[in-house]
Structure formats: C-alpha cells, structure tokens
Amino acid sequence: MTSAQRSLRLFAPLTMVLAALALRLGYIAIAPRGMQFENVDARGYHWLAINLIERGVFSMNTEPPYRSDNVRAPLYPLFIAAWYAVNGPDPRAVALMQAVLDSTTVAVVFRLGRRVAGQRAGLLAALLYAFHPASWRFCNEVLTEILFGLLLTASLWMFARYILSGRNRDALWCGLLSGLSILCKPNVQFLPLVLLGILIQGLYTGRRRLWRGAAIITVTIALMLAPWVIRNRIVFGRWFYTMTFEDNLAHVSAVATLARAQGESVAPWTPRWEAIYDEVIAQAATRYGWATSAESALSTRERDLRLQQITAVAGDIVRARPMDFIVSHTKSWLWSFVPQEHRFWYERLAGQQWDTLPALQGDALGRALKAVRRGQIVAGASLLVQERLLALPPLALMLWIGWGIGYFVGAILFCVGALQLKPRALALVFIATVFYVTFLPGPISQIRFRLPVVPIILVLIVVGVLGQGNRVTGR
C-alpha cells in the first residue's frame, strides 16, 4: 500500500473523530450551565474528587466527618480530581475532557468494527457513534459512563484481537483495560468471567493456547484490583472490592420488590421510593438493635456494618418475594429499551417540558383501552392516533417517530448481526456484555446505563446491515 493510499484510508476515520469532537464541544457550549450536576450521582463524584484533593480522603461527605466511601470505585473520582487539581473545581473542564475521550471512542469503534467485519463496517459503526445524540448529552455530565464506555469498548477490541490472532500481548491489553473498566464502574466486576469462560472453552475446542489468554487476563485484573482491595481491608477491616452490589440490593432491588408486592408503581428516587427504603432501614434497626445515635456520629466501620445489616434485610425481602423481584427487575429492564431520549431533546430544542404537552393530558389511553376491551380495536387505535400522535406539535411528533423507528430497526439488525458475526465466541461475548451491562441496573435501567455498550450494539447493527460478520481484516 502506497503512502497516498494509507493517507486516504486514514482520512475518513480521522474526519469522523473530528466531527464527533465538534458535535460534542458544540453541545457543551450551548448547554445551560450547571447541567453537569443534573444527576445526583454527579455531585457524589464531585465531592469525592474535592475531598481527595483537599483532605486526602475518599469521601462523599460535604461536611465533617469525612468518612471513607465503600460503594464507589476509585478511577473516575481520580480522573476528576486530576482535572480539578489543574483547573480548579470546574465541572466544565471535566466535560470538555470527556468530549475528547468520547471522540477517541469513535476511533476505537472504527478499529473494532474493521477488525471483526472489514473497513466499511468500521467506518459505518464509527459514523453512527459519532452522531449518537445521547453521547453528546452525557459528555456534559460528571458521570462514569463516557470514560467507562471508552475502556470497555477498548477492552473488547483487544479481546477480539486475541480471539482472532492469539497474541499474548492482546490478552495483556485486554486484562489491563478490563481492570481499568472495573476500577471505573464497580458494577462490572464480574464481567471478566464472560471473557474467561469463552477462553477456557478453548480446552474443549482444541484451541489450548487460549488458556494462556485466560491466565494473563485473570492475573492482570487481579493485580490491578489488589491495591484497592488492600485499601478496603485497612480502612474497613475486611476483604472486598466495593459494596456497590449490596447498596443496590438495598436501595433499588428491595424497594422495587416491596413496591410491586404492595401493588404500587413507584418511580426511582421519588419521595415514595425513599419512604419504602426507610422501611427497609427500620427493619434493620429493629433486627440488629441499633442505637438511636445519628448517622453522623458513626465511625467509618460502624457505618459499613450498618450497610451490611441493611443488605441482609434486603436480601431476606427479595428471597421472600422472588417473583416480585424477578418481574419488577425484568419489566424495568425491558421498559428501558422503549425510546425515551426524544423527550430530553424536545425539551432542549423547544423549551417546553414533554409531560406538559396538551396532547399528553387527559385520559386518551384509558379510553382507548376501554374501547379495545369492548372489541372496538380499530376505534381504540384511531382514538390514540388522533388524540395523542397527530395532536403532538410537529417537532415532538417527528422526534417520537424517528426514535421509535430507529429503535425498532436497530433491534432487528442487532439480532441479525449477532447471528452473523464470526467467530461465535466473539458474538457470544458481545451479546453477553450487552445483556450484563443493561440488565444489571434493573429498576433504574435507562439510557445512561446502556450508553457504555452502545458501541458494541452499533457494531452488531452494522454487521447486520452489511452481512460481513465473517470478514476479518486489519488490526
């Protein structure tokens, strides 16, 4: 290949990376100030970074006592703290850096798509991610998803390279990037088991060399997590990585389970949601005979013990109502794939809250369902079309239909691509990763938690479009 040909091959992906950066920086420039803290988790990460810089303690507390946190992972707060140390506590500086990181993800998506399905697949997948609106939005929020998405996509790219070429250095890179992913987002601490399971399967398929990759990835991840586990042993007096799962079991799964068992439909983090969580805490206080002292008077280890006790009560709640847990978790996960992003963009573009639209007021849905129950299916559908769809403002209708069609077509192409991608081990890892990352949040599932696997989803969609799942080219 001549230098001119190489330059031409680099021109398209580089152009997409620059376009992605321009779109993300443009959105940050026009977004209202303060949006970086729109999510409550963002403030927690902000204070973790502030306390690391000013007090040298990994704490989310905004005032004394600054007790060490045992739920969050360290990498993202360290990332924020690094920029705060240089620019002061300015969240916009973090947003600008995240725009650069997410533009880098575009390049990684290109390389991954090209590696598993050819040059055209890489270009198309990168183009789709560059113009993915949710990515622009979350670049401007102080949340883990942008950094985590880059690390996760890069780790899967390295895994694909190892599966296809068997080079140990690719397994090492996969282990390093997987370890960083876990240090960024603790929810995925068990995700490497998916990778290892596929590699170990090589023993039964005759590809014994894959055992080396399994060993390299395992040892690398263990070494990377060891310092944080040792820190937790010193601070909290016991061995663990994070208490994220335990906290989510108590504050999310148990609450959703109780709400369903009581016949309630409760949105996460609403006053009623927190009231049910208070009931879980009250049960723990009664069972374990808590003193009436305020939480602020507890030491770091005493607060950790209370979280363990709350988790035990939450576990009993879930085990006593398994069907309510399964249904509430699965229903919320499935509902998260119903398009919701059009609401955000309509509110930004039109300056009007989606829920206040006149077309959404009234009981058109209820009357339509009554018509269907009477056997008047056509009349019920017509009522919804006339009073809900056609009554929407043109922009709202366009966004609603656009996102709906996009999700429907994307779901079909994703399934087609998953069936076509070769080798099957790689397809299984991609599918398992998407399922794991999206299913785990359950009752709090939303676009935010799906964003890190959007690159993988887009690669499979592109494979479904081009039908090139068995073409392996490039590196």
DSSP string, 253-273: IHHHHHHHHTT----TTSHHH
* Same domain flag for 31 and 127: yes
pLDDT at 181: 96
**Domain presence at residue 133:** yes
Range of the structural domain that residue 420 is part of: 3-240+401-440+445-466
From first to last of its 475 residues, what are the pLDDT tens digits of the chain? Answer: 556 556 657 788 899 999 999 999 999 999 988 889 988 899 999 999 999 999 999 999 988 888 999 999 999 999 999 999 988 899 999 999 999 999 999 999 999 999 999 999 999 999 999 999 999 999 999 999 999 999 999 999 999 999 888 888 999 999 999 999 999 998 888 888 877 777 776 655 555 677 788 889 999 999 999 999 999 999 999 999 999 999 999 999 999 999 999 999 999 999 999 999 999 999 999 999 998 667 778 889 999 999 999 999 999 999 999 999 999 999 999 999 988 899 999 998 888 888 888 777 767 667 777 777 787 777 767 777 776 777 788 898 899 899 999 999 999 999 999 999 988 888 989 999 999 999 999 999 889 999 999 999 999 999 999 976 545 444 5
| Domain boundary, last residue among 279, 313, 335 | 335
Provide CB contacts within 8 A for 381, sequence distance 6+.
368
In this structure, is residue 475 part of a structural domain? no
Rounded Cα distance between 120 and 123, Å, is 5
Helix extents (H) in 262-363:
271-288, 300-320, 322-335, 341-350
d(CA 315, CA 303): 18
C-alpha separations of 174 from 161, 162, 163, 177 in Å: 9, 8, 11, 5
Non-local CB neighbours of 42 within 8 Å, separated by 6+ positions: 36, 91, 141, 142, 143
Residue that terminates a domain, selected from 335, 358, 381? 335
231 and 378 inside one domain: no
Same domain, 80 and 219: yes
In this structure, the answer to whether residues 262 and 227 fall within a common structural domain is: no
> What's the pLDDT at 204?
57
Q: What is the pLDDT of residue 208?
A: 60
472 falls within a domain: no
Asked whether residue 22 is domain-assigned, the answer is yes
Taking a C-beta distance cutoff of 8 angstroms, is the pair 134, 453 a contact? no
Residue 419 in any domain: the answer is: yes
Query: Is it true that the peptide bond before 65 is cis, omega within 30 degrees of 0?
Result: yes
**Are 443 and 328 within 8 A, CB to CB?**
yes
Tell me the three state secondary structure of residue 351: coil
**Both 174 and 222 in a single domain?**
yes
Residue 125 vs residues 113, 205, 436: alpha-carbon distances, Å: 7, 31, 22
Asked whether residue 70 falls in the same domain as residue 212, the answer is: yes
Q: Please give the structure tokens belonging to residue 220.
A: 């690398």
d(CA 25, CA 31): 10
- Length of the chain counted residue by residue: 475
- From 80, 75, 78, select the one nearest 97 (Cα to Cα): 80
* Count of structural domains within the chain: 3
Distance in angstroms (rounded) separating the CA atoms of residues 251 and 44: 16
- Does the model's pTM come out above 0.95? no
Q: What angle do CA 441, 138, 276 make, to 5 degrees?
A: 35
- Fill in the DSSP letter of residue 209: T
DSSP conformation class of 423: S
Task: Say what the alpha-carbon torsion angle 118, 452, 243, 319 is, to the nearest 10 degrees.
Answer: -90
Q: How far apart are CA 362 and CA 152, in angstroms?
A: 44
User: What per-residue confidence (pLDDT) applies to 2?
Assistant: 59
DSSP 290: -
The pLDDT, as a whole number, for residue 377 is 77
Q: Decide which of 335, 363, 389 is a domain's last residue.
A: 335
Check whether residue 171 and residue 36 sit in a common domain. yes
Tokens representing 289 are 């005979």
Query: Do 408 and 322 fall into the same domain?
Result: no
Helical spans, DSSP H, in 166-262: 168-184, 192-200, 202-205, 210-236, 244-248, 254-261
Residue 473 forms part of a structural domain: no
Is there a domain that residue 23 lies in? yes
Same domain, 414 and 269: no
